[in-house]
Amino acid sequence: MPPRLSLLSFIGASKGPSRCSHSSFLPRSFSSSPISQAAKKKRKPFDPYAAAQSRARKAANLARQQELFQQRASTLGDPVKGAETAFVRSFDAVKPTPQEVEQTAEKTGEVPNADRQLYLNHYLTPDVLKAAFSRSRRLSAPTLIDARDGDVEAAELNRDMEAHFNKVDAIAVEAMSRILSLQAGSSKDRLRANMQRCIDKFGRHNTDQTLPPRPKGRPPPNAEDQPKKLPRAGPDTGSSEVQIGILTAKIRALSKFLETRGRNDKVNKRNLRILVHRRQKLLKYLRRKERGGPRWQHCIETLGLTEGTWNGEISL
C-alpha cells in the first residue's frame, strides 16, 4: 500500500521546488534582521581643513548679509521715524522752529523771539491770552488820586500804586504763562498742539499762497456743465499732507512711549503698525497724485520721510 501523501507535498511536487523559504512565513521578529541603512553607510573621516573652510564660508556669508542689511537700511531709512528734521524734533517740546518764528514775526510785526510760545494749553493762543490780560488790566486798574499842581504826596502815592499794580500784573502774567505752558501739560495736550501745527504748516489754505499749483490737465468736454468748486470754508484739515503730518506726530509720540515705558505693550505695538501702514498708503496716494511735484517735496522734506516709509514692504 503506497504511503499517504499530504496535500502540501502533493502541491509542491506538482509545481516544483517552492521559491519561498520557511523563514518567510515566520514573524519579522524571528527572522534574520536586515542590515540597517546607517550601518551600510560608511562614516566619513573628520577633515579639520574642510570644517574650517565651511566655517569661514558661513562667517563670510553672514558678514555680507549684515553689510547688505545696513546698506539697505541706510538707503531706505527707518520706516517708523524716517530722517529727523527740525520740525519733527520740535514735536517733543512743541517749540517753534526758526522758520515759524520768522513767519510769526512777519505777521505780528514784532522782533523774532525764539522763546515766544506759539501754542498754549487748553485750546488757547498767545493772542487770546494777551487780549485777556489787557481786559483784566482795564477792569482792575486802580483809580488814581487827582493830584493838583504842587501836590507832591498825591503824585508819589499814584506812582507807588502804579508800580505796585504793575508788579502784580507781571506776577499774574508769569503765573498764567506757567499754567498754560505745554511743558506742564500731558502728552495728549502736546499732541493736540502738534496736530494744530501740522494743520497750519501743511494746510492748503496756507500752502496755496507759497507753493506753485499743480499743472492742470485737459478739461473734460462737458466742463461747462459741471458745477463749480465751492471756496474752502475754514482751514484745511482733510488733505493728504495734513493727515500725513498728523500721523507722523502720532507715530513719533507712540514710538517714544514704546522705547521707554511700553516695551511690553502689545496693543500699542499693533496701533503703531496700523499708523505706519496708514501713512504709507497716504504717501503713495500723494506721490501718485502730485507726481513728485512741489507739494510732495515740501511734505517729505519737512517731515523727513525717506523712501523706507512709503516704498516696499514695511515690517516692524
Domain of residue 151 covers 122-180
Q: Are residues 244 and 283 in the same domain?
A: yes
Greater pLDDT, 126 or 238: 238
Greater pLDDT, 189 or 223: 189
Q: Is the pLDDT of residue 56 over 90?
A: yes
pLDDT at position 181: 87
Greater pLDDT, 225 or 256: 256
Q: Is the pLDDT of residue 33 over 70?
A: no
Greater pLDDT, 15 or 176: 176
Q: What integer is the mean pLDDT of 135-148?
A: 76
pLDDT at position 316: 75
Q: Are residues 99 and 242 in the same domain?
A: yes
Instruction: Dump pLDDT digits (tens) for 231-284.
Output: 888 899 999 999 999 999 999 999 999 999 998 999 999 999 999 999 999 999
Residue at 44 is within a domain: no
Overall number of domains in the chain: 2
What pTM was estimated for this model as a whole? 0.70
pLDDT at position 150: 61
pLDDT at position 149: 62
Residue at 88 is within a domain: yes
Q: Are residues 155 and 243 in the same domain?
A: no
Q: What integer is the mean pLDDT of 218-231?
A: 78
Q: Are residues 190 and 257 in the same domain?
A: yes
Distance CA 308, CA 316 (A): 12
Q: Are residues 142 and 169 in the same domain?
A: yes
